[in-house]
Structures are given as C-alpha cells and as structure tokens.
Amino acid sequence: MKLPYAEPFRIKMVEEIRQSTQEERESWLKNAHYNLFNLKSSQVFIDLLTDSGTGAMSDQQWGALMTGDESYAGSRSFEALHETVKKISGYQYLLPTHQGRAAENVLFSVLVKDGDIIPGNSHFDTTKGHIEIRKAHAVDCTIDEAFDVDNPHLFKGNINLEKLEEVYKSHPKEKIPFCLITITCNSSGGQPVSLENVKAVKELSDRYGIPIYFDSARFAENAYFIKMREKGQENRTIKEIAKEVFSYGVGMTMSSKKDGLVNIGGFIALNDENIFRAASNFTIIYEGFITYGGMAGRDMAALAVGLNEATEFAYLESRISQVEYLGNRLIEFGIPVQKPIGGHAVFIDSLKFLPNIPRDQYPAQTLANEIYKEAGIRTVEIGTLLADRDPETRENRYPKLELVRLAIPRRTYTNNHMDYIAVAIKNVYERKEEIQKGYNIVWESEILRHFTVQLKEA
Ligand SMILES: *Cc1c(COP(=O)(O)O)cnc(C)c1O
C-alpha cells in the first residue's frame, strides 16, 4: 500500500483556542457591523481569514530570531536574507520592505505613472490599489477557464496570450511599464501558472519589448503545482523550478507573510541597477534604510530560514495536501467549491450555494457570516465587496465569481480542524433555503473598502 503523506514536523508548542456559543457569536457579529475583519481573534475558534502572516515558524526560525543582527546598516541578517533570495530567485538586488504591499508601493513609485496600463492575471487587491491610486489601470488577462469553477483546468492562473497581445497592440509601449504575473494567482483562487505559460508570456512580451515582474507571494506553492502537474517537471526540485520561473522576469515583489513562512515582511528583488537605485530612494522615504526596509534584523534572519523551508518538497506536499483534504471533504458533502482546489485555500462558490441572495446584497459576505455564526470559523469574502467600486463611475463592480475563501494558515491546524470546518459548512448548506436575505452597506471607504465596511441586515 502506498504510504499516505504525513506532516514533516512534530508539534513543540501549542496555543489555546476557545469555542463560543451561537448566541455570543451573533451578538459579536452585530457589534462588528457584520464585517468579520472587525471581530476580535478571541471571538474566533478557527481563523481562516487569511494565510497571510498567520503560520507557525519552525524551531530553526525561532533559533534564527535570537541571532538576528539589529544593526541599522549592513546587518548580518540582511546579508543572510540577500544570499538566500539570490539563490532562490537569481535576482541580484534586494530591498526589504515591511510587507508585500510596501514592496508594491516602492516599486510602483518608480515604474507606474498616470495613465499606464499593467496587464496581468487577476491582480491582487493591494496591487490593484497601488496601480489605481497612481491613476493607472490593471488589465486582467487571465484565461476564461479560471472563471468557471467546475472547469478542471490544471493551471487556472495562466494568462491568455490573445488577451495580452490585444493589450500590447492597443497601447503604445511607453504606457505599459511591465506585465505582472501573480504566482499563484490569489484572486482567481490560489490557482497556479504553468511554466509553459510563463515562457509563452515572456516570448510574447519580448516581441513588444515589455518586461515581466512577478507578484511572488506564493511562488513556492506555484512551483509545487508545476512539479506535480506539468509534464517533464516531475523530477526537478522546487528550488530548480522556482528559479527557472523567475529567470523569465526582471524582478519580483514578495509578501513574506505567505511563502516566506514568517509573520511579517516583504521585499523587492530585481536585476536592473538603475531601477534598484531609484527604488532605494523610495525605500528610504517609505520604509527605512535599504538594508532593513521596515524589518527587524531578527525578522530578516527568520525569513532567510523560512524561504529555504518553504521551498522544500516535503513541507509543500503536507501543506497543499491539507488544503486539498478540506476541499475533498466539502466536495463529498456536495458543496460547490472551485476545482481544482487551490494551493492556499478552498473557495466556495456562493452564487451556487446561496442563489436566493441578490448580488447587491453580497452573497459571499452573507455566506461567510453564516459560517461564522454556525461554528466560530472566520473566512473572507472574495466577491463584490472586495472588488470595490469602479473608480470613475462609482458603481459596484460585480466580479465573475462571488467566492468565500477558506485560507489555511501554514503548519497551524490539524486535519481534525479540517473535519470540523467541513461539517460546519455542511450544516449551513443543509439550512441554505432559510437564508433569504443578505446585507446592505451602511458605511464604506473610498478604496479597499472590504477591510472596514460596515453592513446591516437587508
Ligand atoms: C498578500 C499578497 C500581497 C500583499 O502582501 P501583504 O504582505 O499583505 O502586504 C500582494 N500580492 C499577493 C498575490 C498577495 O497574496
């Protein structure tokens, strides 16, 4: 019999989490204006809000914390991080930042101007925010298969080359500073981009003289999918695959809170000395000196270790298999989830789950709130609230999919937790006919409204 996968770690320290009653949860949710971001973590039993910065560090990382060098300039921990990033990405220059969006802010301050066009595969929300705040436009060129949750396409993060070429043809080169490939594609469901697609995008972009950058938050998970799903890649290491992917671009932004396996941090890595110099100025203004960029030395030390651990096959196998395990439990219960199951999260199709809730009453938010009320599980809406309003018309933008994301923190929960989550969602599914109304907005901010929006029952 083939042995099943098992976690390549054992648990050395535990953190207590507490159950609550349904009555408590209903009152907490009301006080939170029906926005799960407003809950206290003590009001949550299992927290699937995000996999960002919520994972568990290893004993090696905790050890590295104690050896962190807090020198303002030229810290040893920066050196360690720089060596690791060079080894993994092949990019020569490194600018640490306090998290991923800060890397976007610094890099886009150099590269993105008013009226620019940034094509890519479903840009992440903060990425889009940093593009739109500069009055530039993010153009989504993701393949259409990504928006059909039942389509079993193995690389739903891929870029459609015709859509991309259309962008390249219809705008002058000067207006397109770069093409951005997000690996894995968070917004389309943690779906990977194939090596073949990256190569094809590179070839096409070369013909138009457009460079490629990677939004690399989950580059290791992406490399795992390439190894498992792409012909000819099965015998390569994760590190070899990741390095080849990066070789087709000129630089990357990174949220270290994902595949860096740390709780905070980010960076830019790139090869162009002039862009590095220009970005260094913005790093100094926004983040800190260029050898720490908003990170403590000890955090850079832990990140250097984390990047190595995150690019090991055994870790990725247990990580992604756990997400798949939860997805398969939900599929067994007949719950409509995006297929194939993504790398960091399971996505529930709320238009199918709650067909009675109109789009302008936010069906995905409604479902997320029901799951919380049922069992104290905090998830997140990836739908109309997240999509924000059109910056010009101020109308709601209705995305193709209205999803609830169950993001699984790394090395944090066991498969018993996954079983608990699956049964809780099954219970909501069984009473879905009773859920007839969604929510209306009481207050919202101009941009990235989902974090702070206040709602009332419709
Ligand atoms: C999380 C994330 C970001 C932003 O990073 P933060 O560390 O949250 O600021 C950017 N892009 C992608 C794809 C992400 O997942």
**DSSP for 252-272?**
EEEETTTTT-SSS-EEEEES-
Would residue 124 show up in a list of annotated catalytic residues for this protein? yes
CATH number for 400: 3.90.1150.10
Question: Does 299 share its domain with 359?
Answer: no
Q: What letter would DSSP give residue 234?
A: T
| Residue 203 confidence (pLDDT) above 90 | yes
**Token pair recorded at residue 162:** 């015709």
180 within ligand 1 shell (Cβ under 6 A): no
Question: Does 386 share its domain with 253?
Answer: no
* Nearest residue (CA) to ligand 1, atom 3: 100
Reply yes or no: is the peptide bond before residue 366 cis, omega within 30 of 0.
no
Condensed to tens digits (0 to 9), the pLDDT of residues 206-257 reads 999 999 999 999 999 999 999 999 999 999 999 999 999 999 999 999 999 9
Mutate to test the pocket of ligand 1, among 37, 51, 52 (most ligand atoms within 8 A of CB): 52
| Residue 450 confidence (pLDDT) above 90 | yes
pLDDT at 324: 97
Question: Does 40 share its domain with 108?
Answer: no
What does the pLDDT average to over 310-327? 97
Rounded to the nearest angstrom, the distance between the alpha carbon of 255 and the centre of ligand 1 is 5
Q: What percent of the chain has pLDDT over 90?
A: 94
Question: Does 232 share its domain with 375?
Answer: no
pLDDT at 314: 96
127 within ligand 1 shell (Cβ under 6 A): yes
What does the pLDDT average to over 423-447? 96
pLDDT at 188: 72
* Nearest residue (CA) to ligand 1, atom 4: 100
The residue segments making up the domain with residue 118 are 59-310
**Token pair recorded at residue 444:** 């919202």
Q: Residue 259's closest CA among 301, 217, 300?
A: 217
54 within ligand 1 shell (Cβ under 6 A): no
Rounded to the nearest angstrom, the distance between the alpha carbon of 406 and the centre of ligand 1 is 16
Rounded to the nearest angstrom, the distance between the alpha carbon of 232 and the centre of ligand 1 is 30
Q: Considering only 28-32, 185-189, 295-299, which range has the smallest mean pLDDT? A: 185-189
- Of the three residues 310, 341, 358, the one that is the final residue of a domain is 310
Question: Does 149 share its domain with 276?
Answer: yes
| Residue 83 confidence (pLDDT) above 90 | yes
61 within ligand 1 shell (Cβ under 6 A): no
97 within ligand 1 shell (Cβ under 6 A): no
Question: Does 179 share its domain with 227?
Answer: yes
Strand runs (DSSP E) across 24-165, as ranges? 46-47, 93-97, 117-120, 137-140
| Helical residues (DSSP H) of 248-362, grouped into ranges | 273-286, 297-310, 313-332, 350-353
Rounded to the nearest angstrom, the distance between the alpha carbon of 438 and the centre of ligand 1 is 28
pLDDT band at residue 33 under the 50/70/90 scheme: very high
Question: Does 277 share its domain with 238?
Answer: yes
pLDDT at 432: 96
Distance CA 337, CA 348 (A): 4
Distance CA 84, CA 254 (A): 14
* Residue 6 within any structural domain of the chain: no
CATH number for 84: 3.40.640.10
pLDDT at 147: 87
Would residue 450 show up in a list of annotated catalytic residues for this protein? yes
Question: Does 93 share its domain with 124?
Answer: yes
Condensed to tens digits (0 to 9), the pLDDT of residues 373-385 reads 999 999 999 999 9
Question: Does 256 share its domain with 323?
Answer: no
Mutate to test the pocket of ligand 1, among 186, 188, 214, 254 (most ligand atoms within 8 A of CB): 186
Question: Does 248 share its domain with 389?
Answer: no
How many distinct structural domains can be found in the chain?
2
> Residue 295 to residues 146, 165, 262, 305, 349: CA-CA distances in angstroms?
36, 39, 11, 15, 37
pLDDT band at residue 174 under the 50/70/90 scheme: very high
Chain-wide mean pLDDT for the chain? 96
What does the pLDDT average to over 413-431? 98
For residue 266, which atom of ligand 1 is closest to its CA?
Answer: 7
Rounded to the nearest angstrom, the distance between the alpha carbon of 442 and the centre of ligand 1 is 27
50 within ligand 1 shell (Cβ under 6 A): no
pLDDT band at residue 426 under the 50/70/90 scheme: very high
Question: Does 327 share its domain with 185?
Answer: no
| Residue 351 confidence (pLDDT) above 80 | yes
- Of the three residues 283, 310, 337, the one that is the final residue of a domain is 310
* Residue 13 within any structural domain of the chain: no
pLDDT band at residue 310 under the 50/70/90 scheme: very high
Q: How many CB atoms lie within 10 A of CB 232?
A: 9
Distance CA 419, CA 63 (A): 33
* Residue 14 within any structural domain of the chain: no
| Residue 125 confidence (pLDDT) above 90 | no
Among 108, 124, 246, 372, the one annotated catalytic? 124
Would residue 140 show up in a list of annotated catalytic residues for this protein? no
297 within ligand 1 shell (Cβ under 6 A): no
Condensed to tens digits (0 to 9), the pLDDT of residues 105-120 reads 999 999 999 999 999 9
Condensed to tens digits (0 to 9), the pLDDT of residues 14-25 reads 999 999 999 999
* Nearest residue (CA) to ligand 1, atom 14: 217
Q: What letter would DSSP give residue 38?
A: G
pLDDT at 276: 98
Of residues 188 and 356, the one with the higher pLDDT is: 356
257 within ligand 1 shell (Cβ under 6 A): yes
pLDDT at 40: 98
* Nearest residue (CA) to ligand 1, atom 8: 100
pLDDT at 401: 85
What sign does the CA torsion over 409, 411, 417, 423 have?
positive
What does the pLDDT average to over 261-276? 98
Predicted TM-score of the model (pTM): 0.95
pLDDT band at residue 284 under the 50/70/90 scheme: very high
126 within ligand 1 shell (Cβ under 6 A): yes
Rounded to the nearest angstrom, the distance between the alpha carbon of 348 and the centre of ligand 1 is 21
| Residue 29 confidence (pLDDT) above 90 | yes
* Residue 1 within any structural domain of the chain: no
